[in-house]
Amino acid sequence: MKLLTALLLSLAASASAQFEILDAHTTASLRGIDAVSPQIAWASGSNGTVLLTTDGGTTWKHCAIPPNGEKFDFRGVQAFDATTALVMASGKGPLSAVFRNKDACATWKLIFADPDADGFFDAIRAPQPDSFLVLADSVKGQLRVWDWSESVDGSGGEAELSYQMKGPAIEGEGSFAASNTVLQQVRTAQIDKKWKFAYRWTSQVAGHSFMHLVRDEQTSTCEPCVEEQIRVEMPLAGEKDSAGAFSFDFRDDLKGVAVGGEYTKPELTARTAAFTADGGLTWTLAATSPHGYRSAVVFDPHARLWIAVGPNGTDISRDDGKNWTPLKPAHGDTPDADQHWNAISLPFVVGSKGRIGKLHPEAPGK
């Protein structure tokens, strides 16, 4: 009877848990996570660390480190399946680079490094392994989004600055390389009958936070098509270089949420979240904010709510970012299960000191 009671208690505890803490046997600071499915995910972090799971996080394979990879801080990863992924390193000049793997993380190939000595990569978005966009900090007053495509014959690749994103910029303007969620490539987001957005990204400088939107005229005959860049000021915290918009996501063409704050003072709650209902053209501060700085946000389509993670906790919003409530550890969780997170790609979350967790999809909606 005692054994049966213990088993029932154990099952009840696990059923109520919000986060399942996993063990990847690493102490690296993890900032990149990309889940291809509930079973397959790639994670990345400091000291050239790249991890791969194909069994839902039960075990994590330690990928080979790229040549001289110990000096690279992999803050972004884009995965395609269990064998192919891109990782982006963030650092000054050549320490900002993109590597590609096609053999389940056995070998890596350097395919693009920042040609600017003062450059710094912030985020990567890749619809497929042979092309990607990389958002970088401004250099000499020029906003930079690199567009890389592999040659048709597979002999190599070329990168160019996308014309519509060259500027103007404010000197020193840049983005946060916190969770690889400050850049979106949007091919279907239509705001009205004439325009559709192609790209969105956030930046900050001199106490201001911005969202940039690049939109293309939706016609089949224009040569070239009209391109327009819109800079929208956001109401998120931005008094210091360490404050601003750290992450955003959209649930559909119009409704989106952005989070951030002051990462050196994660306990501050003022101006840590904002929402939009017009595709990012205007932003409104949340009426009730997350209870601290948040580095990543995502919409969960199954639970129909937003989830924001950060070093001092996790919050959810059920009304498209207007109000936030803490997602506290449940009965089966460790006391700090909601804390120490950097990035999220459902159902996985990653953080400092090799921390990896799995958010049970049904838990937040209960």
The stretch 281-306 carries a mean pLDDT of 96
* 70-107: pLDDT as tens digits: 999 999 999 999 999 999 999 999 999 999 999 999 99
CATH code for the domain in which residue 140 is found: 2.120.10.30
> In the chain, pLDDT over 90 holds for what percent of residues?
66
Q: Decide: pTM greater than 0.75.
A: yes
Token pair 């209960």 is found at 366
> What totals of helices (H) and strands (E) does the chain contain, helices first?
1, 28
Confirm whether 365 is domain-assigned. Answer: no
Structure confidence at residue 142 (pLDDT): 81
Confirm whether 18 is domain-assigned. Answer: no
Confirm whether 331 is domain-assigned. Answer: no
Domain that includes residue 55, residue range: 30-174
Structure tokens, 44: 């990345």
Confirm whether 160 is domain-assigned. Answer: yes
The stretch 174-181 carries a mean pLDDT of 96
Does the N-terminal peptide bond of residue 94 adopt cis geometry, omega within 30 degrees of 0?
no
* 109-140: pLDDT as tens digits: 999 999 999 999 999 999 899 999 999 998 88
Give SS3 for 85.
strand
Band the pLDDT of 149: cuts 50, 70, 90. Answer: confident
CA 278 to chain centroid, in Å, comes to 21
Domain count for the chain, please give it: 1
* 334-348: pLDDT as tens digits: 999 999 999 999 999
Asked if residues 348 and 2 have their Cβ atoms less than 8 Å apart, the reply is no
Structure tokens, 268: 């501050």
Asked if residues 18 and 339 have their Cβ atoms less than 8 Å apart, the reply is no
Confirm whether 254 is domain-assigned. Answer: no
Burial 114-124 (b: 16+ CB within 10 A, else e): bebeebbbbbb
Structure tokens, 244: 């601003």
Average pLDDT, the chain: 87
Q: Is the pLDDT of residue 7 over 50?
A: no
Q: Is the pLDDT of residue 221 over 60?
A: no
